[in-house]
Structures are given as C-alpha cells and as structure tokens.
Structure 1
C-alpha cells in the first residue's frame, strides 16, 4: 500500500485531485494510486459535486477530502489543494478520470530528481483500452499554428511544426523531450517549481488554458517541461461529450492566453484563425454555437466561470473529520 494517510509526513508526492461529479471514476484512480511504487498523499478537492463524489471520497479514510461547496474551476480547485501541500513535497495534478500505471509517478519523479531544471514532468496519456494515445503535447500558440489546426485538425498529422500547435507524429510520443506545455490531466510539478510559480490563474481560466499559462510562467522562471514516454497514465477523456458552452470556452481561453502576450493586431488575427475551426464545421451544433461567441466579445462574460472561494471549507482527514 503506497497511498499514505493524509497526515503522514513521509510522502514525497502530494496528489491534488479536483473532482466534479466524479463518483464513477474516482475509486479507480485511488485504487491505482495504491499500487504506485511512490508513496503519495491524496488531496481531493471537490468542486460542489451534485452526485455521490463526496460519499465515494469519504470511503477512502487515508485521503484528505476538501468540500468547497462551490465550483471554483480547475485552477481554483488546484489552488485550494496547494494550501495543504507540505514543504518539500512534489505536486501531482491528476484528473479524477485517470488511472496511473504503478511506475508512472516513479518515472516522472526520477526525471525531476535527476535534473532540477525540470519543473514539470508529463506522462504519456493513453486510453482506457490501452490502445488509443492522446495527443497531449503542445507547442506555443501562433497565428499560423492556430490556423493550421483549425483547417486540418487530425488530418495531415505530419504537417510542419509552424502549422500545428498539437504534436501528432508518433515519433514525438516515442522519445523523451522538452515541450512548451502538456495537457493538464496528469502532471508532476517539482516542489521548487510549485514554490516559484505559485498559484494557478483561477481569475482568468475557469477551465482550459490554465496549464498553458502555468507552463509558460514555469518556463519564465527557468524551468523546463519534460515529456516522459515511459511514464503512462490511462485517461477516459471527454471526447465528443463536451457541451457547446465548454467548446466555446476552450477557444475563448486560447484567445485570452494569446492576448496576454501579443498586441491587438496579432490577437485579432489569432481570433480569426481560431474562429475558422468553428466556421468550417457547421454540421456540428457545438461549433455553430461557438462561432458567434468567439467573434463577439460581449458574449464571453456569459460563458462558464468560477464561483467565489467560500470563506469556510469542509475538511476531512484521519485526524479531522469535519471542521
């Protein structure tokens, strides 16, 4: 058993798991952490689930369970979890619909231990069927990369790097290398990087692009983002089940991120490049919904956003059942 009691001070890794209606998948993640070859503490931050997530989480007596009573978004939940990370612990960010292979955390931890300039280590993400591979690695966004992804999507997977933000070639997932950023479903952040970068930006990013922003800030502090193919997590993913407002939010947050780094002219071109994705897919009602949202900034305020952080939280651990 390597899932330690939340009050155990000997863990090297604190795993922050932000849940939202995750009762169906959370048990498998916790069970997989219990087979990890690295000792880990589980910090479950529930974002106001309406299902039985808190009941399911409560069945694992070793976990620290924090009920926010509100939907703070992914970044907001991570930030709550960070307040319970102990000094010196590395921070694993794990989606509740993941399972981790026994050696995954050990593989990521070795990379961080071997080179202190690696601040973020990312595993290979594969489907639950063990066959599908998620294209989880990214380049820094540009206008042409956004346009290339909008036009071609998963077609012409071997197109040049200047036309693709997403890395899709098999060779990019077969070797360890540095990337600009990686999908936030599973990451290991070194204690030094976590301390230097600080909170995730929950004010700007309720959901999506938070990992893009965090990785950029980590790189600006001198840390590298390293992909580790031998470390594997299994991910269910949301696939085509995302509702239209969240599809629109993905695009809007990409534009918000780009705008922070570039002037109005380039940002305008980037927004058009992102809009092309939706304009070319009118058969999909989610894209029909998203296109006018992307083009009309006045609609952005109506997209999903986080609730205020409550003044009190319900916390349960082995020594603190409810305060």
Structure 2
C-alpha cells in the first residue's frame, strides 16, 4: 500500500518572528512523502529572505499581494500537487510525529474529507486552545464553539476528549484535507478574507455527504491571535459578517431565513453588551457586518450549491442554543451539554 503524499502549507504575512520560532519544528516533521511549503502574502518584512537563507528545503510560493487567509491559500494551493493538504498556521508548534496519525485516521474512511488533530495552547500546554481545541461544533443558531472551549471558557486537557469522533468543523490552524475534496468544492471562499472560512468549507463538504473528523492521537500547540489581535474591531466585523454568510450559503432555504433572523436578533444583544462595556467600535463593527451581509445577499445567494442537507442531520450539530446553555444555564464544559 502506497503512502499518501502530504503537503504542509503555511500561509505567511509579515510573520518572520513566528517562522523563526516554529519552522525548526515543522522541518523535523516525520513523514515519508512530505512537501513543506510557505505561501507568502507579499510580506514587507524579511520573511522570504529568512526562509531562503535558512531552509532551502522549503518551497516558497509568493502571492503578488496580501489576499488574506482564504484567497491566499486558494492561490497557493492551486500550485501544489499532493494527496493531502495540511493548512498550518505559522504560530503552531508541532512535534515530530504529528502527521501520520491523522492521515491514518482519514485513510480508514473514504468519506472523511477533513480532520484536525488535538489543538492545545502553546503558552500553557495543559490547556486546549481557543480556536480549535478538540474539534468544532455549531449550535441551533449557527454559533460555533469547540469541544474543550465554550465562549471564553477553555478547559484543561486531562484526556476527557481522547476519542476520535465526527465533528462539524475543523480548525484552520491545523486542517488536514484530501486534495480531491478541496478541488471538488473549490477550496476556501475568497470573499471571507479571514475567519470562519474553514467552517464554510467543512459545511459545504458535509452537504455533499462527506465527514469531518477529530483525531486525538496527534496534537499540536497553537499560540493563537498571531496575525489579527482579538481586541481588533475588524476581527469582530469579520466574525459577525462571515457567520451570517455561512448560514445563508449552506442552510436549506426553508430553514435559512428563520435561523438568520434569530441570529441577527441575538447579535443585537451583543451590540448592547458592547455599548454597555464602553466599546462602541465593536458595536459599530456589528452594524457594519450586518450592513455588508444584507447588501451582499444576491452575491452570496449565487454561491449556494444545489444541495443543502437539513442542519440537524449533520454530525457535530448541537440541537440547542449554546448561548442559552452558557449564559442562562451557566454550563461551562462541553461534557455538561444536553444533546437531547
């Protein structure tokens, strides 16, 4: 049996310090048929020169400008041939044998299109990491959360999520995808720029009957917030806008508008919260997100595929409100959620 080929692709933009810190571990990755690639989004620092001088074994693909995460990867991967693509953030620390367990897990199921390893916090490796943890889920109203992280509550890892399982979405921090599946759905949607583009990708694949998986037998360590600060209103804008877009694109029509209406109403509660906190820039970011979503309805409607599977039929979909569970029922841990 031949070993599937793997291309680990890091998208970089002015991340020389992160590359200096984390590339040494990446180049020590143990896998027999492996390409290491850095796609550069027209960095203005010395990132490219640093790689050329220190890591001649790494292939560099340079974009002519900063296309963001989604289109940046789309352009770079159009020039890469491998059985599997691994989208790896530049601020992720990897151990030597982090690739093989995930590939072995995915090879066991022809419908397993995407998977992620266990993702823990690089600053404190006893804890899960906010952006990926032990796999991504969506609630009844389209709110994303993770096994191991509900809103701002991040759990310590004591082996409670050490079973491989189907999830709703895999984190873009360390996302494994079969290249044929990437090509089948056209990769990431470039209109997202950044944030939730991997959820949209996974949802589109689920609507085609594919699975998204979590493999706990490999783990990586993510710093998080390496390129866009969490205290940046632009990040709030992207999250609120893109969350509405993924619902419009992927929900069945008879389900989409009622869920989107409820979601926008809940967003208004977040708007009030930001105003009470004295953060008008973040509240106005929600206004901007809603405005851009509404003015792009026709544009995004054209992206809908011919098949949308009912939301509740997907693995990794939480059938209740995570907002209610967290803020009203005071549930803080994934294991406490009620699934029926």
- Alignment TM-score, normalising by the size of structure 1: 0.75
After superposition, what is the alpha-carbon deviation per residue over 1:176-217, rounded to whole angstroms, capped at 9, x for unaligned? 110010221101112332343333211x21111110111012
Q: Which residue of 2 aligns with 1:140?
A: 138
Whole-Å separation in 1 of the counterparts to 2:47 and 2:94: 19
Aligned match of 2:245: 256
Mapping for residues 54-69 of structure 1, pairs under 5 Å: 54-59=48-53, 60-69=55-64
Contact 1:100 1:234 in 2 (8 A): yes
Residue in 2 that maps onto 1:23: 16
| Shift of residue 41, structure 1, vs aligned partner | 1.0
Deviation at 1:73, TM superposition (A): 1.3
After TM superposition, the structure 1 = structure 2 runs for residues 1-323 of structure 1, keeping only pairs within 5 Å, are: 12-39=5-32, 40-59=34-53, 60-86=55-81, 88-129=82-123, 130-135=125-130, 136=132, 137-143=135-141, 145=143, 153-154=151-152, 173-202=161-190, 204-238=191-225, 241-242=229-230, 243-260=232-249, 261=251, 262-282=255-275, 283=277, 285=279, 287-297=282-292
Helix, strand or coil for the counterpart of 1:181?
A: coil
Return closer, same or farther for 1:275/1:32 CA change in 2, 3 Å cut-off. farther
Determine if contact 2:4/2:84 at 8 Å carries over to the other structure. Answer: no
Count of residues in correspondence between the two structures: 276
The structure whose RCO (Cα within 8 Å, separation 6+) is larger is: 1
CA separation of 1:171/1:28 partners in 2, compared to 1, >3 Å: closer, same or farther? same
| Distance in structure 1 (CA, Å) of the matches to 2:68 and 2:12 | 10
Alpha-carbon offset, residue 168 of structure 1: 10
Q: CA offset at residue 120 of structure 1? A: 0.8
Q: Deviations over 1:212-235 (max 9, x none)?
A: 111012222332111011211111
Q: Is the alpha carbon distance of 1:247 and 1:221 closer, same or farther for their aligned partners in structure 2, counting shifts above 3 Å? A: same
Cα distance 1:287–1:85, how it changes in 2: closer, same or farther (>3 A)? Answer: same
Output the CA distance in 1 between the equivalents of 2:236 and 2:262.
Answer: 20
Q: Is the 8 A contact 2:138 2:168 kept in 1?
A: yes
SS in 2 for 1:143: coil
Q: Which runs of 5+ in 2 are unaligned?
A: 297-340
- Alignment deviations for residues 113-148 of structure 1 (CA, whole Å, 9 cap, x no partner): 22222111101111123123124232235328579x
Determine the C-alpha separation between the residues in 1 that align with 2:40 and 2:166.
Answer: 32
After TM superposition, the runs of 4+ consecutive aligned structure 1 residues lying more than 6 A away are 167-172, 298-301
Does the CA contact (< 8 Å) of 1:208 and 1:249 recur in 2? Answer: yes
| Cα separation, 1, equivalents of 2:136 and 2:284 | 26
Distance 1:144 1:70, change over 3 A: closer
Distance 1:144 1:258 in 2: 7
> Aligned to 2:218, what secondary structure does the other structure show?
strand
Query: Deviation of residue 169 (structure 1)?
Result: 9.7
Gaps of 5+ in 1: 1-9, 158-166, 302-323
